[in-house]
Amino acid sequence: MSEKLSPWFERTEPSQFEVYAEKYKDIMLMTRKNGILEVRLHTDDGPLKFSWKAHSMWSQAWIDIGRDPENEVMILTGTGDRWLDANPEVWKKLFREWTQDDKLKMYHESLRLLENLIFCIDIPTIAAINGPGTHCEIGTLCDITLCTEDTDFFDPHFLGGTPPGDGMALTLQRTIGVKRAAYYAYTGKKLDGRTAMELGIVNEVLPREQLLSRAWELAEMMMERSRGARMLTHSILSRPWKEALVQDQGFHLTHQMYDMANDEEGPLARLMKLKARFQKTT
C-alpha cells in the first residue's frame, strides 16, 4: 500500500527498488509483492559464498532497503540447501599486513553490517535460514527467525584462533545466556535447528520445502495490520538488539581485530583444517 502523504510532506529521493535491486544483484536477489520484500542471498544462483565484496555491500543494502517506503515487511533467506558458505581464502593475506585504511574500512563495515540492519530498517523482518552455514547472526537479529532442522548455529572464531567479535557470540549471549554462549564460543559446537528453537535462538523449525512459504504467510499476516502498528511494533521488538549493539558490538569487534593485527600465523591455515565444518564439500 502506497503512503498517503500530504503534498507538502513529500519524500526527498527515496531509494528506487529497480536501482538498488540491480546494484546488489550479485549477492542478493530481490523480489517484492504487495509491500513484502524478499531478499535472497546467493552467488551465481547458488548458496552465497562469503567475500569482501559481499561484506561491503550488506551494510549499504540495508540502508537502501530501509529508505524505500514501498518496503513494508522484509523476508531474508538464502539459496538452495545452504545459508552462507564461508571462504577461508579471504584471509590469505595476513591481517597484520593490511594497510591502515584496509583495517579501518574492515572495522566500520563489520559494525555497520549489523548496525544498519537494526537501525536503518524500520519494518518487520523475518529470516528464513534455509540450511547450514556461517554468519547466522544476521538471521538471528531479525524479528522472527525460522530455520530448517539441519541449520547449524556456531561460532568458528575461537577454533580458528581468533576472539569471536563479529556478532555471533553477541547474539548467542543475548538469546541463550552467557554460560551457554561461553560454552559454544569456546567449543565451536553446533546447535542444530531443533536445539536452537529449544534454547530460544529461533521461533520455528520447518522442512526446507515449507520454510519460505511459512515466512510469506507470516509476512502477509503482518500486512493485515496498519503501517503504524507494524513499524512501531518492530521498533519495540528491535530495541533490545539496538541496546546490545551499542553496548557491546564495538567492544567485541575491537578485541577480535586487535588479536588479528598481532597474529603472526594468520587464520587461513587454521580455518582450512575446519573447512568441512562451514563449507559445502562435493
Q: What pairing do the DSSP bridges indicate for beta strands 144-147 and 36-41?
A: unpaired
CA distances from 250 to 65, 183, 234 (A): 24, 22, 23
CA distances from 17 to 25, 242, 277 (A): 12, 26, 36
3-class SS at 146?
Answer: strand
> Which residue is associated with the grid cell 528453537?
197
Is position 72 annotated as part of the catalytic site? no
Asked if 30 contacts 24 with a C-beta cutoff of 8 angstroms, the reply is: yes
User: How far is 197 from 270, CA to CA, in rounded Å?
Assistant: 30
> Which residue is associated with the grid cell 541463550?
176
Among 120, 128, 157, 130, residue whose Cα is nearest residue 145: 128
Q: What pairing do the DSSP bridges indicate for beta strands 28-33 and 48-49?
A: unpaired
Is the Cα torsion angle 32, 38, 39, 44 positive or negative in sign?
Answer: negative
> Which residue is associated with the grid cell 502477509?
220
Catalytic residue among 97, 137, 217, 220: 137
Residues acting as catalytic residues: 137
